[in-house]
Amino acid sequence: MSIVSIEPATAERWQDLENLFGPTGAYGHCWCTFFRRRAKDHTASTTCDRSMRGVDNKAELRRVTLEGRVPGLLAYDEGGPCGWVSVAPREDYVRLSRSRSLRPADPDEPGVWSLVCFWLPPRRRRRGVGSRLLDGAIEYARAEGARVLEAYPVDTAGGRAPSAEVYTGTVEMFRRAGFGLAQHHTSERTVARLNLKEG
């Protein structure tokens, strides 16, 4: 099946996002809120009460959409939603500003958006859906007025790695999309950046 469209995850599309993530949410109850919340506020999948795993995270993501914000984009094929990318203004991801390994060199730099997560059902992986989502994220951020799109990919040295380890995307994926790659100013992490505006 081929991608039919890539759409903003608005409140009206919440059911599609919920169906895509499934009953436990993406990546072990995360519901793609890891970067949106401070460490002490994030409901980790290691919580003792299994019945509460991810409940607060799901509610947080739902709240974002109900406030009229768009936490990311959904890819659709003929069968419905088939992929997700979390992309938004960098300030929406509060954990980035507190991270030792990803803290921005200039937190007040205007117009920077961040791409922090991809999620695809297992049957859709390694079929180019992630690259299509990246293209959609670039187009969406540009259309929304972003000056720069920033991401934090993992270097797999051209090999494969478990999906849970490369949820931020791979270095090669961003290189192919035209991003510049540099080492983070205080850590060994790679930061990918793409200028979205001329001049």
Residue predicted with more confidence, 102 or 44: 102
State mean pLDDT over 138-148: 97
Convert 92-115 to b/e letters by CB count within 10 Å (16 or more is b). Answer: bbebbeebeebebeeeeeeebbbb
Percent of the chain residues past pLDDT 70, beyond the cut: 85
Output the pLDDT for position 94. 93
Q: Which residues pair with 151 in a beta bridge?
A: 115, 192
User: Residue 43: is its pLDDT beyond 70?
Assistant: no
pLDDT, tens digit, 9 for 90 and up, residues 78-105:
889 999 999 999 999 999 998 888 999 8
Question: What is the share, in percent, of the chain residues with pLDDT greater than 90?
Answer: 61
For residue 150, pLDDT over 60 is answered with yes
- Report the pLDDT value the prediction gives residue 157, as an integer from 0 to 100: 78
pLDDT of 1 reads: 55
Contact partners, residue 120, CB within 8 Å, separation at least 6: 82, 83, 84, 129, 130, 163
Give the containing element (helix H, strand E) for 1.
none
- Sorted by where each starts, the structural domains of the chain and their CATH numbers stand as 3-195 (3.40.630.30)
Mean pLDDT of 162-183: 88
For residue 10, give both structure tokens. Answer: 């608005």
Q: How far apart are CA 32 and CA 125, in angstroms?
A: 18
pLDDT over threshold 80, residue 41 = no
Predicted local distance difference test score (pLDDT) of residue 47: 42
Mean pLDDT (the chain) is: 87
The pLDDT, as a whole number, for residue 69 is: 96
